[in-house]
Amino acid sequence: MSRTYVLRRGLQAIGTLLVIVTILFFLFRLGLPDPTVALVTEGLSPEDRAVIRERFGLDRPLFEQYVIYLGNIVRGEFGTSFYYKAPVAGVVWEKFANTMVLMLVAIVIAYLLGIPLGAYLAWKRGTRTDTVGIVLGLMFRSAPMFWTGMLAVLLFGVALGWLPTSGMRTLPYEAATFFHKVFTLDFLRHLIMPATIIALFYLGSPLLIMRNTMLEVYGEDFIEMARAKGLRERDVLYRHAARNALLPVITQLAVTIGLAAGGQVVVEVVFSWPGLGREILQAVRTSDFPLAQATFMLMAVLVITMNFLADLLYGALDPRVKLQ
Amino acid sequence: MRPRQRSRSRYLAQAFAPLRLIFHDRLATTGVVILGTVIVMALAAPWVATHDPRAIVERAEGSWMTWDEDAWRVQPAIGLEPLYDLAVRGGEAIAVGADGLAKRFDGRAWTALPRITEATLRAVAAGDTGAIAVGDGGVVAWYVDDEPRALRLGDADLHGVTLVDDGRSALIVGAGEAVWHLPLAALEAGETDLEPRTTRLASPVGRGLLLRAVATDADGSAIAVGERGLALTWSPDAAPGGAGSLALLTLPSFRDFNGLHVDPDGGRALIVGERGTLLRREGPDARWVEDPPPDTRALRGAWIGNDGRAWAVGRNGVALSFDGEAWQRDVTGTERHFWAVAEVAGRPLAIGSDPFVDKLAPPSAVHWFGTDHLGRDLFSQNVYGSRIALLVGFLGAALVVLIGANVGLFAGYFRGRTDTILMRIVDVMYGIPFEPFAMILVLLFDPSLLIVILAISLLSWRTVARLIRSQVLSLSERPFVKAARVAGASDLRILYLHIAPNVLPLVFLELAIILGASIIAEATLSFLGLGPPQSISWGGILHNARLSGAWRTAWWWNIPPGAFIMITVLAVFFISRALEVIANPRLRGR
Amino acid sequence: MNKSQPRRQAARWLVALVAAGLLWGAAQAQEPIPTIEILTTTESYDAIRYEGAFIIADAWRELGFDVVVRPQEFSTLLQRFYDEQDFDVTILGWSGRVERLDPQHFLATLDSRQAGLGANNPGGYANPAYDALFDLQSREFDADARRAYVQQMQELAAPDAPLVILFHRDEVVAYNATRWTDMVTMAGEGLYNEWTPLRATPLTNDRVLTIGSPQEPDNVNPLASTSVWGWKWMRMYYDKLVRLSPEVEPLPWAAETITAVDDVTIDVTLRAGMTFHDFTPVTAEDVKFSFEYPIANDYAYFRPFLSRIGRVEVTGPLSVRFHLTEPVASFITVTLSQIPILPMHIWSAIDNPADLNPDEIPTIGSGPFQFDRYDRGEYMRLTVYPMHFAADDIDIDAMEMIIFADSEGVFTAMQTGQIDMTAWRMEPGQIPLAEANADLVVVGVPDFGYFHMTWNLRRAPFDDVAVRRALTMATDRQRMVDVLLDGRGEVGSSVVAPVNAFWHNPFIERFDYDLEAARAALEAAGYTWNADGRIVAP
C-alpha cells in the first residue's frame, strides 16, 4: 500500500467532511426556525429577542456567519450552545463518552459472540442447528430495539425489579473523574440492559457474515489442500478457514464502530441514556445551531475515519486487494 | 425484431429465476407466506379491522355501584340507558334516566317501572302518594300505583324537582332560571298541560342562567343551585296556598353547581359542582364553607347524612367521602360517570353513566387486542399499521434501488469523470450517519409521508450504487458487451438491454434487504414521534403507548405491534437469503 | 334529409353547451369557503393538543367547512404563529406562572398594539375600547377600581370570540406522604413552588427534600438564563424584595416595608441584618445595583419587568426609592417579586456576565438556601443558609433535584421512593397508578395558564364575527376535557382563568357546544351551503 494512496484517501476524507459541514450549516440555518422564537412563550418582545439574536451573531449575513464558522472550526472552536450558554465542546464531549461506552460494550459483546457462533454454524451447515442459529440471529435483527428494550424494562425493571430502568447511575453520586463514574458496580447494573439489547440486535451481522464467508472460503483451493493433507475438520475450520474469513467481519466491525456515535437514539430514549443521539434531537428541536452542528460533525468525523480505516485495513490484510 | 424478443424473454427469465429459487428454500417459502399474509392484511384492512382505528369508543349504560364494607363496587349494569337521578323514600329508591327510564330499587334488586315517556328524565323526587320526575322538553312524569302518567310543563328542559309544603307541592327548576311551583293536586286534574295550574316564580337574578338542582331545607324552605355559582332560596308564603317567593343566596364560589342535598333532619347540606367544588353547611343556620377537594374533577351527585358524613360522586369515576373532618378520594377503578349518590337502607348507592370512554381495556371479545388510553381499538390499529409499514417499506426500497442501480450502472459503465463525480457523492453519503440524518430531515420539513420515505431512502442508495457499480465494471469487460458495442448498439441500449439484466439478481437482493431496513427505519422514526402524521403505524402505536405512561401495565398495547414488525422483517430477511444465493452462487450447495 | 340538419344539430349542441357553461360559471361564483388549516403541535410534543385538533376538525366538517389538521414541530409552530403570522387557526398555549396571576400579561394578548409580527397578539384582534381599558387598568393602583376595568375588558371581548380558550389543564403532581407533610401547592406552580422547601416537614430522619424533574435549568447564570426552570431553582438561593405567598398575596420578604409615595414613586426599606452567603451584608446599594445591572447588560428576560423603572435612588443604608416613568399597577406584585438581589461586590467586576462559562458563574445570593452543587443533566443541590431570617422556620437541611430524561423516569423514581416529589405534571396514564400507590398523595392543581385556539382575524372567513362565534359553538371543549384530560381540567371562557377568582369575570358570554345553534348562526349571517354540503360565504 503506497503512501500516496493513503494521502489521497485522507484528503478525500477531509473534502467529504467539508462538504458535509457545509451542507449541514446551510440546511440548519435555512431550514430551522429562529432559535429565539421559543422565548416568545417566556414573554419576550420582538425587541428583546433581537438583542439575543445579536448576541448569537445571527444578525450578520449568512455567508459571513459561514466564514466565521469555518474559521472557528479550523481553530478547534465549536462555539457556545445557544441553549446551555456553555461551550459546545464540553457538552458534546460528555454525551459522546456516554454513548461510546454503551455502544462499544455492546459491539464488543456482539462480535465476541457472533464470530465464533458464525464459524460454528458454517461448520454445522445444513443441519438443524444451522437453521435455528440463522433464524435466531435474523430474529434479533428483525425485532426493533425500542420494542425489545421496552419489553426488557417491563420484565426485568418493573415486574421483577432486578435492574434499574433508566439513566447511567443512581443519583446523587460522588465521582471525581469520568473513570470513577464508569467503573462502578452501579454503573454496570445500569449498563446491562441497554448493552444487551443493542448487542443482540448487532449479533446477527457478524454471525451471518462470518458464516457466509466461511462457506465461501471452504470452496477455496487452500482449504481443499489442507483437507487433502488430512487435517481434522475442526483444525481446518479454525486454523485455516476462520483466519481467512475474519477479514470482512473486521472491516464490518470498523464500519459499525464508525456509526456507533450516531448511535441508537431509540435505545437512549427507552433507557433514558444521556447520550449524543438524544442531544442532537434536542439541539435540532431548539434550533441550537452550534450544538447541532458540532454533534453532527463529530458523528461524521467518526464515520469517515472508521470507513477510511476499514479501507486501509482491507488493503493491509487482504493480499488479493491491490491498491493503486 | 428477433433480438428484442430474445432480450425480453431473457429479462423475464432473469426476473423469474429468483422466484423459483425462493420456493426451493423452506425458510424463504415461509417468508413469502408471511409477507403475503401481511400484504393481504394491509390491502384488506377495512374489512379485517373490527373498528375504526381512530374512533374513540364510548358506551353508555345504566351503571350503579354500592359501598360494600370499605370500598365502592361497580355492579353489573341494568340496561343501556344512563341513569341520572335517585330519590329515596323509606328503604326504597327510585332512579330515572334516559328515554324515560324509571326503576325501583329495594336495597338488593331493581324492578322496572312503566315507561311513560320517551324524553330523558333528569330528576326525581319521591313523596307519600307517588314519585315525580322531570326532564327534557318540559316533561313531568307522575308515578302513582294505579295510573302513572306523563304531563308537560312548558317546553324548556327541567333539571330539578323537590317536594315542598309538607309534600303537597313540587318545586321544579330548569333552564332559563325557571322555578315552577306545582301543587300536586294539579297532577290529578286530568289535563296534560300543567302550565295553567302552575306558578312560575320570578328570579331575583334574571340572567337566564341554568338551574340544575333543588332541595327542600329542614325548615320547609328550599334551595336551588345552578351554573356560575347561582343559588336561590325559596320561602313559602306565610298564608297557605301561595306559591312562595325567591331570594338570592350568596355562596363563596362562582363555579357551576351540579348537585345538592340537604339532610331533612339535621339541616346539614352539601352542594357539589365543577372542578371539585364542595360547599358544606353544618346546620340550618350555619355558614356555607368551601372545602378543599382531594380531586379537581367535576362532581355531580351529593349526599350528606345526619351525622355529618357525606358522599360526592362525579365524572370519570370520581367518588369522594367525608368522615366528618376531611374529604378523601375513594378508589372506584372505573371511568364511568356518576350522577347521583344516596344512602338506601343504610348503604351508599351511586348511579350513572352517560357515554364514557372504555379506555385501557384488556383484550376481550369486543376488543381483541384491548383498547388504548383514548379507548381506541388496538386490533384495528395494528391491522391498519401494516399499511404504512409496507407502503413506506416498498416505496422506500423501490426508490433506493431505482436511484442506486442507475447510479451504479452509469458510474460502472461510463467510468472516468462520471464515475469520479458519482462516487465522490457516494463518499459524502457514506460520511453521513443514517439515523440522525433521517431524524433531522423529518424535523426540517413539515412532517409528511413523503418526507419520511425520502428521509429513509436518501442515504440508503449509497450501498446499492457501490455494489452495482463494481459488478458493472466487470460485466462491461465481458465479450457480449464488447460484441454489442461492435454491432453499433447505443450506450443506453447496451446499459439497459445487455448489462442491466445481469445485475438483476443483485438488484432483487438489495431490494429485499432494503425493504426490511426501511420497515424498521419507519418504525423507528414513528417511535420517536417523527412518523407521518395522521397515520397509524406499528412504531406509532408503541410511541403512543410510551407517551401515555400506561405502557407499564397495558401489555396488550406493547406486545402486538413489535411482534408484527419482527415477523414482517423476518419474512423479508428469509426471502433475501434465498436471493443471496443467486447473486452470490458460491453460497449455493450449503 | 336536409343538408342543413346536421348544422342545426350542431348549433343546438352549441347553445346547450354555452348554457351549461353559464350555469357552471354561476355555480362557480358560489365558491365554497376555502380549506381551513389548523396548525397544532406534533403528537410527541403534546398528544392532547394534537388529538384536540382532530376533535375540532371533525365538528367543523359537520358544518360544511373543509378542514385539514397540520401538526408542526413546536418551534416551527411558534415561528409560523408569532413571527410570520402565517396561519388560519393555531392551537397553542400559555403556561400559568405566578407572575401571570396579575392579569396584565394575559390581557395584553388581545391588545391591538401587540398585533405586530413577533408580538403577543398574532390573531390580530383589534378593539379600541378594549385597548383604552387596558391602558386604564395598567395604570390603576387601586385594586378594586382596576378589577372593574379588568372585568369589563373580559365582558367586552367575549362576544367577539377573538380566540377560543380551549381549557385550563390541571397540573397533577404527587409526593410521598410517608416521608413528608405540610407540602404547599400553588396554582400554576404545583408542588415545586418556592414555599414547599420552606414549609415541608419531614416525617422521617431524612431531612433532605428530593425532587425529581424531567427538565433542568438552561443554566444558572442570573444574567443569561432564559428558561423558567433556571429561575425556579435560582429563586431559592437569590432573595427578592417581595415573595408571593401561597395564596398569591405579595408578602414583603427582603423588604421590611414598601410604601407607595405616589403612583410613580415607591419607597422600600430593607430588613436589617441580612447577609449574602459569603457573609457580606446586603445593602441598599446591592438593591439599586440589582435593578440596574440587568438592563445595563441587555438581559432581555427581565426587560418587561424593568423597562418602566426610571431610576433607583439610594435614600439610606437600607432604603431605596424607585422612580417609575409611568404608573405600573403590577410593580409590587410582579416586578418586586421577580428581580433577584445580586451581590454588587461580586458582579460589578464582571464585564460580560452573559458570556460566563458555567464554572465561572457566581452562585452567591442572600436567599434562604445556598448553592451547593450542580452536575449538568443529573443533579443539583442547595443547603439551608443558617444565617437567613427565615432559616429557623425551615424544617429541612437541604433540597436536591434529580434530573431525569423524561417523565417516565421521574414516575419510576416516584414509585420506588427514590424521590419525594415531582416537579412537573404526570402523564394521564401514570395518574391512576400513582393514586393506587398508598405511599403517594396525588394533587391536582388548577392552572391559570390556558390552551387556546387562535384564528387569524386578518383572513377570511375569520374576519366575520358570526363565523368565529359559530365555530366556537362547534368546538366541543367539554369533550376534550372529559376524554383527553380525563376530566382533569376546565373549559375556558376568558384569558383570565376562573381560578384567578379576583380578576376573573364569571358572567361573560360562554359558548357551549351546540352544532345546531352554530348552523343557525351561520344561516342568520347569510351563509349558504352548496350541493356538496360545503359552506358558501354570502
Q: Which residue has the cell 375504526?
A: B52
| Alpha-carbon distances of B316 from A273, B259, B319, C486, rounded to whole Å | 36, 16, 9, 7
Q: How far C197 CA lies from chain B's nearest CA (Å)?
A: 22
The confidence score (pLDDT) of residue C96 equals 85
ipTM reported for the complex, 2 dp: 0.88
CB B162 within 8 A of CB B222: yes
In sequence order, what DSSP letters do the residues of A253-313 get, joined into one string?
A: HHHHHHHHTT--HHHHHHTT---HHHHHHHHHHTT-HHHHHHHHHHHHHHHHHHHHHHHHH
CA dihedral (B180, B185, B189, B190) positive or negative? positive
Q: Which chains touch C (3 or more CB pairs under 8 A)?
A: A, B
Considering the domain architecture, whether residues A39 and A128 belong to the same structural domain is answered as no
Closest B-chain CA to C500: B254
For residues C205-230, one letter each, b for 16 or more C-beta atoms within 10 angstroms of the residue's C-beta and e for the rest, the string is: eeeebbbbbbbbbbbbbbbbbbbbbb
> What's the whole-number mean pLDDT along residues B260-286?
92
Q: Which chain A residues are within 8 Å of C117, Cβ to Cβ?
A: 46
Q: Which chain B residues are within 8 Å of A296, Cβ to Cβ?
A: 433, 436-437, 440
Would you call C44 and B549 a contact, using CB atoms and an 8 Å cutoff? no
Among the listed ranges A180-184, B157-161, C197-201, which one has the minimum average pLDDT value? A180-184
Sheet containing strand B211-216, strands side by side: B211-216, B222-226, B231-235, B245-248
Considering the domain architecture, whether residues A155 and A280 belong to the same structural domain is answered as yes
Q: Is residue A322 assigned to a domain?
A: no
**C520: CB partners within 8 A, 6+ apart:** none
Give residue A321's pLDDT band: very low, low, confident or very high (50, 70, 90).
Answer: very low
Q: Which residue has the cell 422564537?
A: A37
Considering the domain architecture, whether residues A166 and A265 belong to the same structural domain is answered as yes
Closest A-chain CA to C378: A171
Considering the domain architecture, whether residues A54 and A109 belong to the same structural domain is answered as no
Q: Is residue A29 assigned to a domain?
A: yes
Q: How far A24 CA lies from chain C's nearest CA (Å)?
A: 18
**A30: CB partners within 8 A, 6+ apart:** A62
User: How many whole angstroms separate alpha carbon A165 and alpha carbon A189?
Assistant: 10
Would you call C47 and B549 a contact, using CB atoms and an 8 Å cutoff? no
In sequence order, what DSSP letters do the residues of B441-493 get, joined into one string?
A: HHHHS---HHHHHHHHHHHHHHHHHHHHHHHHHHHTTSHHHHHHHHTT--HHH
Considering the domain architecture, whether residues A173 and A265 belong to the same structural domain is answered as yes
User: How many whole angstroms separate alpha carbon B357 and alpha carbon B60?
Assistant: 9
Strand, coil or helix: B154 = coil
Q: Is residue A81 assigned to a domain?
A: no
Give residue A319's pLDDT band: very low, low, confident or very high (50, 70, 90).
Answer: low
DSSP A176: S
- The reported pTM is 0.87
The CATH number given to whatever domain includes residue A181 is 1.10.3720.10
Look at residue B439 and tell me whether its pLDDT is greater than 70. yes
User: How many whole angstroms separate alpha carbon C251 and alpha carbon C263?
Assistant: 19
Interface of B with A in 484-503 (CB under 8 A): none
- The tens-digit pLDDT sequence of chain C (538 residues) is 444 555 566 666 666 666 666 556 555 556 889 999 999 998 888 889 999 999 999 999 999 999 999 998 888 899 999 999 999 999 999 988 888 888 989 999 999 999 999 889 999 999 999 999 999 998 888 889 999 999 999 999 999 999 999 999 999 999 999 999 999 998 888 899 999 999 999 999 999 999 999 888 988 999 988 888 999 999 999 999 999 888 888 899 999 999 989 889 999 999 999 999 999 999 999 999 999 999 888 888 888 888 889 899 999 999 999 999 988 888 888 899 999 999 999 999 998 888 888 888 999 999 999 999 998 888 899 999 999 999 999 999 999 999 887 888 888 889 888 899 999 888 888 888 898 888 999 998 888 899 999 999 999 899 999 999 999 999 999 989 988 888 899 999 999 999 888 999 999 999 999 999 999 999 999 999 998 889 998 8
Would you call C43 and B56 a contact, using CB atoms and an 8 Å cutoff? no
CB atoms near residue B229 (< 10 Å)? 22
Considering the domain architecture, whether residues A238 and A158 belong to the same structural domain is answered as yes
The confidence score (pLDDT) of residue C450 equals 94
Q: How far C385 CA lies from chain B's nearest CA (Å)?
A: 33
pLDDT tens for B549-570 read: 788 788 899 999 999 999 999 9
Domains within chain C, CATH numbers bracketed: 36-169+448-536 (3.10.105), 172-214+368-445 (3.40.190.10), 233-364 (3.90.76.10)
Would you call C43 and B318 a contact, using CB atoms and an 8 Å cutoff? no
Q: Is residue A70 assigned to a domain?
A: yes
Would you call C354 and A55 a contact, using CB atoms and an 8 Å cutoff? yes
CB C258 within 8 A of CB C363: no
Q: Is residue A80 assigned to a domain?
A: no
Considering the domain architecture, whether residues A59 and A182 belong to the same structural domain is answered as no
| Number of structural domains chain A divides into | 2
CB A259 within 8 A of CB B434: yes
Q: Which residue has the cell 490484510?
A: A317
Would you call C404 and A42 a contact, using CB atoms and an 8 Å cutoff? no
Q: Which long-range contacts (CB under 8 A, 24 or more apart) does C132-137 make?
A: C134/C107, C134/C108, C137/C103, C137/C107, C137/C329
Interface A-C, measured as beta-carbon pairs within 8 A, has a size of 118
What residue spans of C267-379 are helical by DSSP H? Answer: 284-296, 303-306, 336-338, 344-347
User: How many whole angstroms separate alpha carbon B15 and alpha carbon A250?
Assistant: 34
Average pLDDT of chain A is 83
In sequence order, what DSSP letters do the residues of B35-96 get, joined into one string?
A: HHHHHHHHHTHHHH-SS-TT---EE----EEEEETTEEEEEPP--SSPEEEEEEETTEEEEE
User: How many whole angstroms separate alpha carbon C73 and alpha carbon C62?
Assistant: 28
- Residue A162 CA, chain-centre distance (Å), reads 28
Which of C37, C44, C441 is best to mutate for the B interface (most B CBs within 10 A)?
A: C44
**Helix, strand and coil percent figures for chain B, each rounded to 5:** 40, 25, 35
Look at residue B343 and tell me whether its pLDDT is greater than 60. yes
Q: Please tell me which of the candidates B207, B357, B534 has its beta carbon nearest to residue C69.
A: B534
A87 interfacial to chain C (CB closer than 8 Å): yes
Per the DSSP assignment, residues forming a β-bridge with B272 are B259, B278
Give residue A324's pLDDT band: very low, low, confident or very high (50, 70, 90).
Answer: very low
Q: Which chains touch A (3 or more CB pairs under 8 A)?
A: B, C
Would you call A49 and C300 a contact, using CB atoms and an 8 Å cutoff? yes
Would you call A42 and C226 a contact, using CB atoms and an 8 Å cutoff? yes
Would you call A51 and C402 a contact, using CB atoms and an 8 Å cutoff? no
User: How many whole angstroms separate alpha carbon C481 and alpha carbon B272?
Assistant: 18
Q: How far C408 CA lies from chain B's nearest CA (Å)?
A: 7
Considering the domain architecture, whether residues A133 and A181 belong to the same structural domain is answered as yes
Would you call C83 and A34 a contact, using CB atoms and an 8 Å cutoff? yes
Q: How far B271 CA lies from chain C's nearest CA (Å)?
A: 18
> What's the whole-number mean pLDDT along residues B84-102?
92
Q: Is residue A143 assigned to a domain?
A: yes
The confidence score (pLDDT) of residue C8 equals 60
Rg over alpha carbons for chain C, rounded to the nearest Å, is 28
Considering the domain architecture, whether residues A153 and A188 belong to the same structural domain is answered as yes
Look at residue A119 and tell me whether its pLDDT is greater than 90. no
Q: Which chain B residues are within 8 Å of C51, Cβ to Cβ?
A: 374
Q: Is residue A194 assigned to a domain?
A: yes
CA dihedral (A251, A256, A260, A262) positive or negative? positive
Average pLDDT of chain B is 88
The confidence score (pLDDT) of residue B414 equals 86
Strand, coil or helix: B178 = strand
Q: Please tell me which of the candidates C78, C381, C418 has its beta carbon nearest to residue A37.
A: C78
Ranges of beta strands (E only) in chain A are none
Q: How far A125 CA lies from chain B's nearest CA (Å)?
A: 6
**B503: CB partners within 8 A, 6+ apart:** B405, B408, B409, B468, B471, B472, B475
A8 interfacial to chain B (CB closer than 8 Å): no
Look at residue A175 and tell me whether its pLDDT is greater than 60. no
User: How many whole angstroms separate alpha carbon C339 and alpha carbon B516?
Assistant: 57
Domain boundary pick from A48, A74, A100: A74
Closest B-chain CA to A9: B427
Per the DSSP assignment, residues forming a β-bridge with B215 are B223
Would you call C376 and A84 a contact, using CB atoms and an 8 Å cutoff? yes
Domain boundary pick from A19, A46, A74: A74
pLDDT tens for B524-556 read: 999 988 888 778 899 999 998 888 878 878 889
Q: Which chain A residues are within 8 Å of B393, Cβ to Cβ?
A: none
Would you call C226 and A273 a contact, using CB atoms and an 8 Å cutoff? no
Report the amino acid identity of residue C194. E
Q: Which chain B residues are within 8 Å of A32, Cβ to Cβ?
A: 443-444
Q: Please tell me which of the candidates A141, A277, A303 has its beta carbon nearest to residue B431.
A: A303
**C309: CB partners within 8 A, 6+ apart:** C291, C295, C322, C323, C324, C325, C335
Considering the domain architecture, whether residues A11 and A125 belong to the same structural domain is answered as no
Considering the domain architecture, whether residues A32 and A98 belong to the same structural domain is answered as no
Closest B-chain CA to C409: B549
By a Cβ cutoff of 8 Å, what residues of chain C touch chain B? 42-45, 47, 51, 54, 69-73, 76, 170, 407-408, 411, 426-430, 433, 435-436, 444-446, 482-484, 486-488, 490, 498, 501, 504, 506-507
Q: Is residue A79 assigned to a domain?
A: no
Q: How far B573 CA lies from chain A's nearest CA (Å)?
A: 7
Considering the domain architecture, whether residues A119 and A208 belong to the same structural domain is answered as yes
User: How many whole angstroms separate alpha carbon C170 and alpha carbon C173?
Assistant: 9
The confidence score (pLDDT) of residue B18 equals 61
The confidence score (pLDDT) of residue C25 equals 55
**C205: CB partners within 8 A, 6+ apart:** none
Domain boundary pick from A74, A106, A127: A74
CB C254 within 8 A of CB C290: no
Percent of chain B topping pLDDT 90: 45
Q: How far C399 CA lies from chain A's nearest CA (Å)?
A: 12
Q: Please tell me which of the candidates A42, A167, A285 has its beta carbon nearest to residue C409.
A: A167
Ranges of beta strands (E only) in C125-198 are 163-169, 171-176, 180-181
Task: Report chain B's terminal Cα–Cα distance, integer Å.
Answer: 42
Mind spelling out the 3-state secondary structure of C444-467?
A: EECCCCEEEEEECCCCCCCCCHHH
Query: By residue range, what is the domain housing residue A248?
Result: 88-317
A282 interfacial to chain C (CB closer than 8 Å): no
Give residue A165's pLDDT band: very low, low, confident or very high (50, 70, 90).
Answer: confident
